[in-house]
Structure 1
Amino acid sequence: MKAVTHSDIDYHWHKWIFDNLLAGCSVESMVKTVNQSTTCEKSAVIAAIYAAKGHPYIEAAKALKHTLAKRHWLLETYDQLAAMDTRYATQIEKRAAPSFDIFIKEYYSKHLPVVLTGGIQDWPALANWSPAYFEQKFGDKQVEVQFGREKDPLYERNSRQYKKQMLMREYCQLVTQGGASNDYYLTANNNRECLSELATLFDDVGDFAPGYRKPENINTRSHLWFGPKGAFTPLHHDLTNNMLVQVYGRKKVTLIPAAQVENIYNDKHVYSATDFPDVNKEKFPLINKTTPIEIILHPGEAVFIPIGWWHCVESLDISMSISFTDFKVKNDFFSRFPRER
Structure 2
Amino acid sequence: MYSFSTRSSFIATPHESMAELWSAISAALPVTEAEFPLDFSEKVEPSVVDVLKRCRQQLYTRSGRWRQNAQIILDLSWEKLNTGTWRDVDKEWRCLYSYGCLFKVAALCCDDASPATVQEAIRTCDLGLLMGAAIMDNILQTIVRILQNEIGKRHSNEEDPSDGVSAKKMKVDCVSVPVVKQALAVPRIHCPSLESFKKDYLDPQKSVILEGIIDHWPAFKNHPWSIEYLQTVAGCRTVPVEVGSRYTDEEWSQTLLTVNEFIDRYIVVKDASSLGYLAQHQLFDQVPELKDDICIPDYCCLGEGDEDDITINAWFGPGGTVSPLHQDPQQNFLAQVVGRKYIRLYSPEDTEKLYPHQLQLLHNTSQVEVESPDVVRFPEFVKAPYLECVLQPGEVLFIPVKHWHYVRSLELSFSVSFWWS
- TM-score category (smaller protein): 0.5 to 0.7
Alpha carbons 1:134, 1:172 under 8 Å: kept: no
Partner of 1:207: 296
Matched residue, 2:202: 108
Q: Deviations along 1:63-96, whole A, 9 cap, x unmatched?
A: xxxxxxxxxxxxxxxxxxxxxxxxx973321111
Do the aligned partners of 2:340 and 2:413 also contact (CA within 8 Å) in 1? yes
Match of 1:279 in 2: 373
Shift in CA distance, 141/90, structure 1 to aligned 2, threshold 3 Å: same
Report the CA distance shift for 1:180/1:96 in structure 2 as closer, same or farther (over 3 A): farther
C-alpha contact (below 8 Å) 1:202/1:222 kept by paired residues: no
2:287 equivalent to 1:167: no
Q: How big is each residue's C-alpha offset from its partner over 1:9-33, in whole Å with a ceiling of 9 and x where there is no partner?
A: xxxxxxxxxxxxxxxxxxxxxxxxx
How far is 1:211 from its partner? Answer: 6.5
- Equivalent residue for 1:301? 395
Q: Which residue of 2 aligns with 1:197?
A: 286
Judge conservation of contact 2:281–2:311 (CA < 8 Å) in 1: no
- Counting only pairs closer than 5 Å after superposition, residues 1-341 of structure 1 correspond to structure 2 as 90-127=184-221, 128-147=224-243, 149=244, 154-155=248-249, 162-178=253-269, 183-187=275-279, 190-192=280-282, 194-209=283-298, 212=301, 216-217=307-308, 221-268=311-358, 269-326=363-420, 331=421
Separation in 2, partners of 1:256, 1:301: 20
CA distance, structure 2, for counterparts of residue 283 and residue 252 of structure 1: 25
Q: TM-score, normalised by structure 1?
A: 0.62
Contact 1:242 1:324 in 2 (8 A): yes
**Is the Cα–Cα contact under 8 Å of residues 266 and 275 in structure 2 kept in the other structure?**
no
Change (3 A) 1:202 1:180: farther
Is the 8 Å Cα contact of residues 89 and 291 (structure 1) preserved in structure 2? no
User: Deviation at 1:107?
Assistant: 0.4
State whether residues 114 and 304 of structure 1, in contact with CA within 8 Å, keep that contact through their aligned partners in structure 2.
yes
For the aligned residue pairs, the C-alpha RMSD in angstroms reads: 2.8
The separation in 2 between residues aligned to 1:211 and 1:284, in whole angstroms, is 36
Count how many residue pairs are aligned between Structure 1 and Structure 2. Answer: 232
Would the alpha carbon gap of residues 153 and 227 (structure 1) be closer, same or farther in structure 2, given more than 3 Å must change? closer
Hey, what's the Cα distance between the residues in 1 that align with 2:278 and 2:228? 16
- In the alignment, the residues of structure 1 paired with residue 284 and residue 247 of structure 2 have an alpha-carbon distance, to the nearest angstrom, of 28
For 2:307 and 2:299, the matched residues in 1 are separated by 14
Q: Which has the higher contact order (CA 8 A, sep 6+)?
A: 1
Q: Distance in 1 between matches of 2:340 and 2:384?
A: 25
Question: Residue 291 of structure 1: SS of its match in structure 2?
Answer: coil
Residue 314 of structure 1: SS of its match in structure 2?
A: strand
AA in 2 matched with 1:305: I
User: 1:230/1:122 Cα in 2 relative to 1: closer, same or farther (>3 Å)?
Assistant: same
Distance 1:273 1:176, change over 3 A: closer
In 2, Cα distance between equivalents of 1:299 and 1:90? 21
Structure 2: distance between partners of 1:102 and 1:282: 43
User: 1:292 deviation in Å?
Assistant: 2.6
* Contact residue 248 and residue 324 of structure 2 kept, 8 A: no
Q: Is the 8 A contact 1:97 1:209 kept in 2?
A: no
Secondary structure (helix, strand or coil) at the match of 1:173 reads: helix
Amino acid at match of 1:200: E
Tell me the TM-score normalized by structure 2.
Answer: 0.51
Q: Distance in 1 between matches of 2:414 and 2:350?
A: 30
Work out the CA distance in 1 between the residues paired with 2:326 and 2:300: 29
After superposition, the C-alpha distances for 1:220-250 in whole angstroms (9 at most, x for unaligned) are 7321000101111001111111110000110
Q: Secondary structure at the match of 1:266?
A: coil
- Give the CA deviation at 1:196: 4.2
| 8 Å contact from structure 1 (residues 126, 299) kept in 2 | no
State the alpha-carbon separation in 2 of the partners of residues 166 and 232 from structure 1.
20
Equivalents in 2 of 1:210, 1:170: separation in Å?
Answer: 36
Q: Distance in 2 between matches of 1:310 and 1:104?
A: 20
Task: Tell me if the contact between 1:242 and 1:305 (Cα under 8 Å) persists in the aligned partners.
Answer: yes
Aligned counterparts of 2:346 and 2:366: Cα–Cα separation in 1: 12
